[in-house]
Amino acid sequence: MGGLTLIKQEQGIVRTIKRFFNKGAPMNWLRKIPGSQRAATGLEWAIWRKLPLFFAVGTVLPLAALAVLHWQVDVSTPAGERWLQMADYMVVGVVLFHWTAVVTVGIGCVIVMVMKGPAYAADSYAVSHSERPRSTGPDDKA
């Protein structure tokens, strides 16, 4: 009996969620301003298209160098083993730093693309003192 009640409760929750999101017209988060024009594309698209290549090359080169290092270094001595382990840590750090840099550049490209796109209008928010600023009193801080 408990399982059937649980299923009915879940179905009720799903119905409530569907009703909440399907009220009236679909929600329009961003409305394009009629007549707005896009700015000309620039360097951001060229960089955006090359990001996968930058990502792959920046990952493969340090790992290939590390593979060659593992093949060449004599690990029979503790000093050689320590040196190789330090090289492993350095390569992991370089690769992670490179990934972070590529993701950061990608985020910058997306921001520039959105900013150069068509103009959008959000919901307006009436500011009470937009036309005539409120007067400051003696107790107000500057």
Identify the CA nearest to 98 among candidates 48, 56, 45, 47.
56
Query: Is 78 a domain residue?
Result: yes
| Tens-place pLDDT, residues 49-94 | 999 999 999 999 999 999 999 999 888 889 889 999 999 999 999 9
- pLDDT of 4 above 80: no
Query: Is 131 a domain residue?
Result: no
Structure-token pair, residue 69: 């290092």
| Mean pLDDT (the chain, rounded) | 81
d(CA 34, CA 37): 9
- pLDDT of 122 above 70: no
Query: Is 49 a domain residue?
Result: yes
Q: What is the pLDDT of residue 120?
A: 75
Containing domain of residue 111, as a range?
42-115
- pLDDT of 24 above 70: no
Mean pLDDT over residues 22-48, rounded? 76
Portion of the chain with pLDDT greater than 90, in percent: 44
Q: Number of C-alpha atoms within 13 angstroms, CB side, residue 15?
A: 6
What beta strand segments (E) does the chain contain? 31-32, 120-121
d(CA 123, CA 74): 67
Three-state DSSP state, 85:
helix
Query: Is 15 a domain residue?
Result: no
Domain count, the chain: 1
Q: What is the pLDDT of residue 73?
A: 87
Query: Is 14 a domain residue?
Result: no
d(CA 68, CA 84): 11
Structure-token pair, residue 141: 């801080």
Query: Is 141 a domain residue?
Result: no
Tell which wins on pLDDT, 71 or 122: 71
Q: What is the pLDDT of residue 118?
A: 81
